[in-house]
């Protein structure tokens, strides 16, 4: 395990090196998960790409910090992590809130980001009332009290089988997320709108979404792709909100094809 104290908190991360001439891909994970959701993608890319994955503030083994959690905190933490490793011109792959963090970093620190892979995300996700209702429900019942409803949006019906040990494992990952980190990040998403800044982005972007995503459906991700000048759009059939888990081969193929296009350009 690797840890670094950045912006006053400890960030848990993983770095997998590659030859100096190989590009680096950085993975930012979704709400209620940690960087282990990328495992089946990372193992298919390791060696051909340098890899940086991390637990965002208040998730996994990373600290929450003092006070409220804002989207700026998440963006600044990722910037500090990349500065810590002197990483530049990375391909940044973000899922859900990780995709919002990616949009924020590309706007704030364009020197760090060569291209974006935005998975199952949006320029604005949900409504204030929706997020306030979730915060209130979790404050009263805990994450486990509403985890069934969340998992229905995360995974396809076929994956949500009681016999599927992986599904049980990801339920535990969600339910064991630190409450402060989960609720703080809910509020950060609620208060964030990247419509204007993402419309001004000037870098290669592909927006990817599972065809059965119930959290950030194809309609929303398609809207994001139309918002960002020149962005590409691709659906992954048979996946919901977490294609890195349900369809890692297909997502890895998309990442490789996107990089090949970057290299050709």
Which residues in 68-190 belong to E strands, given as ranges? 90-95, 113-119
Angle (nearest 5°) at CA 28 between 24 and 31 = 170
What pLDDT tens digit does each residue of the chain (265 aa) get? Answer: 799 999 999 999 999 998 889 999 999 999 999 999 999 999 999 999 999 999 999 999 999 999 999 999 999 999 999 999 999 999 999 999 999 999 999 999 999 999 999 999 999 999 999 999 999 999 999 999 999 999 999 999 999 998 999 999 999 999 999 999 999 999 999 999 999 999 999 999 999 999 999 999 999 999 999 999 999 999 999 999 999 999 999 999 999 999 999 998 8
- The residue range of the domain holding 138 is 2-264
Give the helix/strand (H/E) hosting 236. strand 232-236
Rg of the chain over CA atoms, in angstroms?
17
Reduced to 3 states, what is the DSSP secondary structure of residue 164?
coil
Count of CA atoms in the C-beta half-sphere (13 A) of 51: 21
Total of domains in the chain: 1
The answer to whether residues 140 and 115 touch, using CB atoms and an 8 Å cutoff, is no
User: Running DSSP on this structure, what letter comes out for residue 46?
Assistant: B
The answer to whether residues 113 and 89 touch, using CB atoms and an 8 Å cutoff, is yes
**What is the pLDDT at residue 140?**
97
Question: Which CATH number is 86's domain given?
Answer: 3.40.50.1820
């Amino acid at each position: 395990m690797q840890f670094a104290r950045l912006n006053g908190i400890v960030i848990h991360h993983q770095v997998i090196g590659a030859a100096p001439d190989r590009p680096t891909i950085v993975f930012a994970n979704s709400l209620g998960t940690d960087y282990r959701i990328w495992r089946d993608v990372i193992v298919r890319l390791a060696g051909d790409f340098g890899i940086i994955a991390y637990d965002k503030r208040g998730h996994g083994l990373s600290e929450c910090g003092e006070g409220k959690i804002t989207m700026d905190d998440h963006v600044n933490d990722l910037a500090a992590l990349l500065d810590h490793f002197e990483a530049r011109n990375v391909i940044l792959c973000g899922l859900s809130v990780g995709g919002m963090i990616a949009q924020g970093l590309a706007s704030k620190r364009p020197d760090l980001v060569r291209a974006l892979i935005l998975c199952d995300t949006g320029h604005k996700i949900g409504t204030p009332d929706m997020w306030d209702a979730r915060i209130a429900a979790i404050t009263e019942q805990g994450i486990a009290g509403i985890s069934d409803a969340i998992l229905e949006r995360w995974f396809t019906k076929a994956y949500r089988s009681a016999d599927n040990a992986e599904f049980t494992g990801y339920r535990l990952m969600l339910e064991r997320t630190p409450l402060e980190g989960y609720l703080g990040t809910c509020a950060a998403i609620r208060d964030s709108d990247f419509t204007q800044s993402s419309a001004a982005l000037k870098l290669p972007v592909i927006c990817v979404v599972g065809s059965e995503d119930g959290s950030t459906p194809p309609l929303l991700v398609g809207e994001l792709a139309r918002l960002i000048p020149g962005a590409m759009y691709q659906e992954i059939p048979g996946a919901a909100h977490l294609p890195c888990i349900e369809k890692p081969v297909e997502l890895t193929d998309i990442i490789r094809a996107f990089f090949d296009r970057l290299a050709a350009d």
